Amino acid sequence: MNVTASGRRVLVSGAARGLGRAVARAFASNGDRVAVHFGSREEEARTTLASLEGSGHTLVGGDLAEPAGAVAVVDTAAEALGGIDVLVNNAAVNIRHPLAETPYEEWVAVWQQHVAVNLLATAHLSHLAARRMIDQGGGGRIVNIGSRGAFRGEPDHPAYGATKAAVHALGQSLAVSLAPYGIAVASVAPGFFATERVAPRVAGPEGEAIRAQSPFGRVGSAEEIAAAVLWLASPAAEWSSGTILDLNGASHLRS
Ligand SMILES: NC(=O)c1ccc[n+]([C@@H]2O[C@H](COP(=O)([O-])OP(=O)(O)OC[C@H]3O[C@@H](n4cnc5c(N)ncnc54)[C@H](OP(=O)(O)O)[C@@H]3O)[C@@H](O)[C@H]2O)c1
């Protein structure tokens, strides 16, 4: 099995900043080689790449809203790394569109963008990476970044909540279909955690209410989420395949 405790070939989508950057750093610190994917933020992605421990990492750009973009990203990453053992589906959009305030044309466009990036790109990257893992014959790991919003509802971001629920369901289907190939698939469902994207909300007037969502009285950190992703991609986590791991500081308890 290629999926050893370190030295794996890892593709992280959306790793220019935020959680993707923290995940890339966690794998690199573990001794893995990472393809740092970016969509539009090449400069920030170069900063991520330069910050990684170890050597043999690579940068790969590409728009994941188009199916052809996913092909280019996986091909480029696999060529640079010599294969792919782990895929982390982190790239996503989260655009505010409360129904009562959003004109229909905008509503349609926002839904299409969420479906294209959050759901379809996750499905397509999973297909492309898993087919390589199958051909390599050494098993593999896919970890999807889902969201607490899939369970709790996202009144101001309904397409986000719906597509993250679909990502969880996709991960469960693939966990079953890919297990015979030694590929484990899991998702994490984080609550609020601090990244550049959400920093203005956490620092702004709603910051106190956001921190109060958790009885710990704080938001999570990207490093806390990345640590769980690293573990779910480890050999020890094979039996967790199909799981959706809550990472929300007890802010939302599912039965
Ligand atoms: N922060 C939270 O509180 C929170 C909570 C629950 C779940 N999550 C999930 O955690 C993940 C990371 O979130 P984050 O806060 O770190 O957000 P982020 O900084 O916006 O990271 C997401 C990345 O996705 C990439 N992306 C978006 N559209 C793309 C496209 N069409 N093609 C290629 N790449 C695209 C962006 O790349 P470029 O910047 O290069 O364009 C962006 O950097 C996401 O899946 C998010 O839904 C976050």
The whole-angstrom separation of Cα 249 and Cα 221 is 11
Which domains are assigned to the chain?
Answer: 9-247 (3.40.50.720)
Q: Which two tokens stand for residue 126?
A: 């999973």
Q: Cα–Cα distances in Å, from 161 out to 114, 115, 206, 210?
A: 10, 11, 20, 17
The CA 221 to ligand 1 mean position distance, Å, reads 15
Which of the residues 13, 126, 147, 234 is marked catalytic?
Answer: 147
Asked if 251 is an active-site residue, the reply is no
| pLDDT of the residue at 6 | 81
Strand ranges of the sheet holding 140-145, from the earlier edge strand across to the other edge: 58-61, 33-38, 9-12, 86-89, 140-145, 183-190, 244-247
pLDDT tens, per residue, the chain with 255 residues:
445 568 999 999 999 999 999 999 999 999 999 999 999 999 999 999 999 999 999 999 999 999 999 999 999 999 999 999 999 999 999 999 999 999 999 999 999 999 999 999 999 999 999 999 999 999 999 999 999 999 999 999 999 999 999 999 999 999 999 999 999 999 999 999 999 999 999 999 999 999 999 999 999 999 999 999 999 999 999 999 999 999 999 999 998
Confirm or reject: Cβ of 160 under 6 Å from ligand 1: no
> Residue 193: beta bridge partners?
220
Crossing angle of the two packed helices 18-29 and 222-232, in degrees rounded to 10: 50
Which of the residues 13, 126, 160, 251 is marked catalytic?
Answer: 160
Q: Which residue in 183, 179, 177, 65 sits closest to 124, CA to CA?
A: 65
Q: Which residue in 174, 202, 159, 186 sits closest to 245, CA to CA?
A: 186
| pLDDT of the residue at 22 | 98
- Contact yes or no for 130/171 (Cβ under 8 A): no
How many whole angstroms from its chain centre is CA 81?
Answer: 19
Q: Which residue in 94, 97, 122 sits closest to 195, CA to CA?
A: 94
- Contact yes or no for 141/183 (Cβ under 8 A): yes
| pLDDT of the residue at 255 | 86
Confirm or reject: Cβ of 195 under 6 Å from ligand 1: yes
Asked if 181 is an active-site residue, the reply is no
3-state SS assignment for residue 232: helix
Q: Among 48, 197, 229, say which to mutate for ligand 1: greatest number of ligand atoms within 8 Å of CB.
A: 197
Tell me the whole-structure pTM to 2 decimals: 0.98
Asked if 147 is an active-site residue, the reply is yes
The CA 94 to ligand 1 mean position distance, Å, reads 8
| pLDDT of the residue at 122 | 99
Measured from the Cα of 149, ligand 1's closest atom is 6
Q: Which residue in 205, 204, 213 sits closest to 148, CA to CA?
A: 213
Q: Within 13 Å of residue 23, how many CA atoms lie on the same side as its CB? A: 33
The CA 190 to ligand 1 mean position distance, Å, reads 13
| pLDDT of the residue at 216 | 98
Q: Residues near 111 by Cβ (< 8 Å), separated by ≥ 6? A: 97, 159
3-state SS assignment for residue 121: helix
| pLDDT of the residue at 11 | 99
Taking CA atoms only, the protein residue closest to ligand 1 atom 42 is 14
Confirm or reject: Cβ of 90 under 6 Å from ligand 1: yes
